[in-house]
Amino acid sequence: MKITDVKAYPVSFPIPPQNRVALGIGTAVKRDAVVVKITTDEGLVGWGEAHHGRAHTTVAKLIETTLKQLINGMEVHNVVGVWEKMYRYQLASHGMGAGACLAISGIDMALWDIRGKALGLPLFRLLGGSKKPIRAYAGGVSLGYQPPEQLIEEAKKSIDQGYKAIKLRLGDSPKKDIERVRAIRKAFGNELVILTDANIGCSVEDVRQLMPALDELNIGWLEEPFPAHDYRSYREARTFGRTPLAAGENHYTRFEFDRVIEDGAITILQPDLSKSGGITECLRIAAMASAWKLPIHPHSSMTGLNHAASIHFLAAIDNSGYFEGDVSKSNRYRDELVENPGKIDKDGNVWPLEKPGLGLEVNEEFLVKHPPIEGPGYV
């Protein structure tokens, strides 16, 4: 079975002012995505998500031109060979760097979807996993810089749904950050798992001030206080306290994760199946991390395609951590593009879908009705 066509759909929708969330990287004003469709000579179709990279039309163009020409006619089941060809000719040298990795990720996910459909197996079984509960935390583009009383109200909605863990946003100012985290801990007690994400909004001095409070409040991790490539700051911040440092959504391929693991400062690894190289590469990252006894907590991207793939992936690796549940308001990619695959049960778990491949049907009319909106997604 061979690849005969590759299409990429850059899509967007605006976020209404009342639903906008302020984060360390700015206030979200729209949501972008790149949906990948691969067709085979036997008529099977696979779907994947390439992260938008804040340049969704550019990522889509790369998929539909250079990468399509590189892989057209290749065998669908040869996912390693397809990955290697794209890597060699577009990422390893003189390519678009991270942008190429995003594009490769979407193609790779679509190929795994086809493989599952061809063999009649859900992705988690194809990957060697079993149907099991996956712990989830309330994340996505949500729980931002609200006043503490409003944040408590917002967090309660997720806890009432069944979540036993939530992620709060830091990077405003150390004083305000600590005030919010302390308010949530006081409101919901010690049994709630609290995770934090600074979205690169911190300085080294900010983390020095934050860490004693995070230790005191028993916070599960501090995610991305700095840009991914700022290795020196991560090494320095690791000495400030006990709270683990987390990162990975902006690290690309096993080669960058090898540096992260060797440095030892970041011990919570968060590759994104739509960014870090796709399912094929994230399996390699997970295996490498397993040798160091490090857990994998994938970062979730925009659409239900990524969410479904992440849950399958977690059900198939031996060092699986949390699934990042998307509790953001009105995510059309989660609720309208596909059926939401991340529904949580009363125990705070999600379960992999059992239909072949990713287990989702894509609403292709949605892709037509939501053309790309150019410009920055955060202001």
CATH number of the structural domain spanning residue 314: 3.20.20.120
* Number of domains, the chain: 2
Give me 42's structure tokens. 């036997």
Instruction: Evaluate whether residue 53 is within a structural domain.
Output: yes
Instruction: Evaluate whether residue 136 is within a structural domain.
Output: yes
Residues 6+ apart with CB under 8 A from 201: 23, 24, 25, 170, 171, 172, 225
Give me 360's structure tokens. 């989702």
Tens digits of pLDDT across the chain (379 residues): 999 999 999 999 999 988 888 888 888 899 999 999 999 999 999 999 999 999 999 999 999 999 999 999 999 999 999 999 999 999 999 999 999 999 999 999 999 999 999 999 999 999 999 999 999 999 988 888 999 999 999 999 999 999 999 999 999 999 999 999 999 999 999 999 999 999 999 999 999 999 999 999 999 999 999 999 999 999 999 999 999 999 999 999 999 999 999 999 999 999 999 999 999 999 999 999 999 999 999 999 999 999 999 999 999 999 999 999 999 988 999 999 999 999 999 999 999 999 999 999 999 999 999 999 999 988 8
Residues 130, 86 share a domain: no
6 vs 38, 48, 65, 73, 131, CA distance in Å? Answer: 5, 11, 9, 11, 31
| CA dist., res. 244 & res. 237, Å (int) | 10
Residue finishing a domain among 60, 88, 120: 120
Strands of the sheet containing 3-14, edge to edge, are 3-14, 30-40, 45-50
Instruction: Evaluate whether residue 355 is within a structural domain.
Output: no
Query: What CATH number did the domain enclosing 113 receive?
Result: 3.30.390.10
Domain enclosing residue 19, as ranges: 3-120
Instruction: Evaluate whether residue 235 is within a structural domain.
Output: yes
Residues 108, 141 share a domain: no
Instruction: Evaluate whether residue 239 is within a structural domain.
Output: yes
Residues 338, 233 share a domain: yes
Residues 129, 116 share a domain: no
Residues 340, 208 share a domain: yes
Residues 313, 264 share a domain: yes
Nearest to 212 by CA among 180, 174, 259, 249: 174
Residues 179, 130 share a domain: yes
Residues 182, 54 share a domain: no
